[in-house]
Structure 1
Amino acid sequence: MSCLRYLRVGCLLAGLAATCAWAQSVSPTAPVRILVGAPAGGSTDTMARAVAHAMGQQLGRTVVVENRPGAGGNLAAEAVARAAPDGQTLLMSFTSHAINASLYPRLPFDPVKDFTPLTMVSTSPSVLVAHPSLPANNVAELVALAKAKPGQLNFAIGALGSSLHLAGEAFKLKAGVFIVNIPYRGTAPAVQDVLAGQVELMFAAVGNVQQHLRAGKLKALGVTSPHRLAALPDVPAIADTLPGFESSAWFGLFGPAKMPPDLLRTWSDAARAAVQSPDVRRRIEAEGATAVGNSPQDFARFVVADIARWREVVKFSGAKPE
């Protein structure tokens, strides 16, 4: 047998041994942890908890959610990137996983190479809302107003570097307008100041402003999805006025890199079945989001493309990590 053949056989045996070692080191009764890089009660946490219970039923295992907020989701992501690829530690991440690749000069992990995508859980378009006093009732009128009054209109920003912040930057880039950002520490105070008329505009998750739209305390100018949303059927897509505009948050489940193929298939199948279950779909839709549950391959391709898509917007915005 040639040296090359010996080397190939040796590598194959080493890989099998590593896989067996992972399998032997994991207790079949040990809980699976889904780390969330955001506080309890937010959309990412809600998605994780909805999927965890249903995924546990699919696997016949206990699946628990552990919140590790901080650094725009990077603390939780780093912990998963460094975890053993044995399926015991997963990550429920969100749009910042792609945004942070450009927003942070250095990350302690590679957002593509250090993770195994399992499935995209959901997508969540946002809505551009305004205080009722704003003399613009649609996107075309807003663009005209912003061009007539450059720097005199303001966007409330719940978190710098977030998908909602960058939706505003993408809007300004696409429309060729200058609107000033007013940053807040959280979505709630940003919404409150738009309700009070202190700030004219903001991009917001549908679930965070739907009640105010119904009450007439805010008005919706457009949604960030390519087409109208079932939750807001009377609100046109921004893309109707600015062709090609789209900006949706997404939530997805990852494992560490180098998960064995059989394990990847089992965990991905369980996650996808969980996402498509009626109870989980209802909880996702209650958040103003749309359930996805795509394949690991499709999700992996999406992440690579999304990192490239946000790079231009981050550069245009000049945003820096908080």
Structure 2
Amino acid sequence: MRQPPSSIVWSRRRVLSVATGLIAANLAAPARARAFPDRPIRLIVGNPPGGINDQIMRAAAVDAGKKLGESLIIVNKPGAGGVISFLSLKGSPPDGYTIGVTTPPLWRQPVIEDVDYDPIKDFTYIINIAETVFGIVVPQDSPFKTWADVLAYSKANPGKLSYGAPPGQNQTSHIMVEGMARKEKMQWVPIGYKGSAESIPAMMGGYVAFSMEPMVSISSLVRSGKARLLAVATPTRLKSWPEVPTLKELGYPSIIDSPTGLAGPANMPPDIVKTLHDAFKYAMEQPSLISVLSQSDQSPRYMGSEEYTKYVVRAAKEQRDLLVSYGMAKKK
């Protein structure tokens, strides 16, 4: 039988060799990364359902999810001044599929107590969305019609006045009222709650004299006539409540900055950070979130990833100095 030419034999061998090499190369190469996201994203909220951050994030998550092409699942992890949620976020893979709400307690708690995280090194800051506005509120049937009534009662009954401070002691509500009490040289008893979902029923039930609450949590009660605002912690009076004085007007110039944003674990890839940032920036511009903020007298406050990171570094130092001066910092 006649043999084929050697050139043809070598050609077939070469073909087989090349094919085998290509198969091996494909098997050894990593699978091509899928576009982010390709599955639902967990969004951790360190407050109970119905609280300020829960309401804001549920509104934002709907439109952000539309932009991302995947749903966002709200996971509520309240307690310990937010530390439970922050630790859960820190311990998650930095792949963008777990993000969480970031508020001042994130950089405040390490000053107050020993926590197993560093607010600067252990997180990737994505975007800031809103500014939380606070107000002092009492039930409609409260004997306190004005802030002056509260002060008069306090002077006549030293040490007997208690107030609601969500989401817990040594947090924004408590720090603001503590500054006011120090100016008045009075002692008021702070009662910490995990969130407004707990503090508002306590206030309405008369268990505390008043509560320092986020406006998003109390606006509907005030509008319905069930509660009354005594003051708001804003630079100027709110358009919705022009008759309600600001704390500054009442002689308390210090207003605590209280932004609400989003972060992920440390070392998130920049492209994933940008994708998430763009989705929530889009959500900020949509009617649903704008409506939630407007109806509750909250303010949108945008900071991009770089600006937000710089803000946290600066705010962490400012909060440390303030807490040390108030005697709230942990003992070294």
| TM-score normalised over the length of structure 2 | 0.76
**Aligned counterpart for 2:117 among listed residues 109, 113, 135:** 109
CA contact (8 A) 2:320 2:329 kept: no
Q: Which structure: larger Rg? A: 2
Of residues 140-149 and 90-99 in structure 1, the stretch that sits farther from structure 2 once superposed is: 140-149
1:287 deviation in Å? 3.5
Change (3 A) 1:62 1:156: closer
The amino acid across from 2:79 in the alignment is: G
Q: Return the alpha-carbon distance in structure 2 between the equivalents of residues 102 and 205 of structure 1.
A: 23
Cross-structure match for 1:123: 131
Change (3 A) 1:91 1:53: same
Size of the aligned set, in residue pairs, is 298
CA contact (8 A) 1:43 1:287 kept: no
Cross-structure match for 2:24: none
CA contact (8 A) 2:219 2:295 kept: no
Q: Return the alpha-carbon distance in structure 2 between the equivalents of residues 262 and 221 of structure 1.
A: 46
Does 2:59 align with 1:50? yes
Change (3 A) 1:92 1:176: same
Cross-structure match for 2:248: 239
Change (3 A) 1:136 1:56: closer
Q: Mark the runs of 5 or more structure 1 residues left unpaired by the alignment.
A: 1-20
Q: Return the alpha-carbon distance in structure 1 between the equivalents of residues 176 and 272 of structure 2.
A: 36
Cross-structure match for 1:10: none
Q: Return the alpha-carbon distance in structure 2 between the equivalents of residues 300 and 41 of structure 1.
A: 28
- CA RMSD after TM alignment: 3.2
Q: Return the alpha-carbon distance in structure 1 between the equivalents of residues 122 and 83 of structure 2.
A: 13
The amino acid across from 1:90 in the alignment is: I
**Aligned counterpart for 1:308 among listed residues 317, 320, 324:** 317
Cross-structure match for 1:9: none
1:211 deviation in Å? 4.8
| Deviation string, structure 1 residues 60-85 (Cα, Å, up to 9, x no partner) | 23322222333222222222222232
Cross-structure match for 1:99: 108
**Fraction of identical pairs, as percent:** 27
Secondary structure of the corresponding residue to residue 33 of structure 2: helix
1:29 deviation in Å? 1.6
Q: Return the alpha-carbon distance in structure 1 between the equivalents of residues 57 and 225 of structure 2.
A: 32
| Deviation string, structure 1 residues 242-293 (Cα, Å, up to 9, x no partner) | 3532135432110222222233222212211212222221123333321223
Q: Mark the runs of 5 or more structure 2 residues left unpaired by the alignment.
A: 1-29
| Deviation string, structure 1 residues 32-89 (Cα, Å, up to 9, x no partner) | 2212222223222222222222112222233222223332222222222222322121
Cross-structure match for 2:76: 67
Secondary structure of the corresponding residue to residue 24 of structure 1: coil
